[in-house]
A = this chain, B = another copy of it.
Amino acid sequence: MIVVETVKEMQQLSKKLKSQEKSIGFVPTMGYLHEGHLSLVEAAKKKDDVVVMSIFVNPTQFGPNEDFDSYPRDFERDKKLAEEHGVDVLFYPSVEEIYPDELTTKIHVVKRTDVLCGKSRPGHFDGVATVLFKLFHIVLPDNAYFGMKDAQQVAVIDGFMKDYFFPINLVTCPTVREHDGLAKSSRNVNLTKEERQEAPMIYKQLLFAKELVESGERDANKLRNVLFDKLSASITGKIDYIDILSYPSLTEIEKLNGQVIIAVAVRYSKVRLIDNIILTI
């Protein structure tokens, strides 16, 4: 595995790989790797000749009161994990490397952002899109891999990749979970012991909602209310939202139909957890 720290070197390497007709699989991350990230690497290993992983905690996707500074970082551990799992190129740029100058041109996501996490994180998806426009042009992947845990992120990426005809395949992988069902997240380390113990209830209640749908429930509002009551009763964390929307357009629905997301966010003392399931009706 080679570690590349500059934009110029990374872009030159990618151009060289492309001229050799090697397909590039790209796994963008903010580091502090867990099995979720590594499942994306595994998928890329199967499909692509060369797997590039980036580790970059992107400042522009954190709000002023968010956890940019406390976001967990451990490069040496990540490097070891990446190498063990067969990453070929680890792109590890500094903030100055990715944001050398003030932007002359801004990217603004105008759809799919006024719901779910976007509602409480204004500008978050502008930051995600901005850094991915940059990273995609640097790494020049054939396939880019994202986990469905961040389903709204995937919907936003799907949107701008179609808008601007990025010559890249968006490959999504299922959420990887702990044995008790809690969705893997770099932020889970910031849960207290008690919070960690109850957190699996989030997924458990999502599965309960799924069962209701499978038994014929189609009323989005009714389903939402039942899920809200069940979840509030089973956790101490504060429910930030429970939403049932069309996917990937993330538009409001009354009746469940087509592809639908049931998404939840719960706020704990130091961390906010998200989870979702996507159903096809």
Binding site for B on A (CB under 8 A): 7, 11, 14-15, 18-19, 21, 101-112, 129, 133-134, 137-138, 140, 156, 159-160, 162-167
Contact = CB atoms under 8 A, between A and B. Distances in A.
Nearest to A21: B19
Contacts of A110: 103-106
A222 B266 CA distance: 64
A137 B167 contact: yes
Nearest to A166: B137
Contacts of A21: 19
B104 A105 contact: no
A21 B20 CA distance: 9
Nearest to A111: B104
Contacts of A107: 105-108
Contacts of A105: 107-111, 129, 156, 159-160, 163-164
B156 A104 contact: yes
B11 A163 contact: no
Contacts of A138: 165
Contacts of A140: 167
A252 to B, nearest CB: 16
Nearest to A10: B165
A245 B166 CA distance: 35
Given A14-B167, A105-B109, A107-B108, 14 more contacts: A7-B165, A11-B165, A101-B162, A103-B110, A103-B111, A103-B163, A104-B110, A104-B156, A104-B159, A104-B163, A107-B107, A108-B108, A134-B163, A137-B167
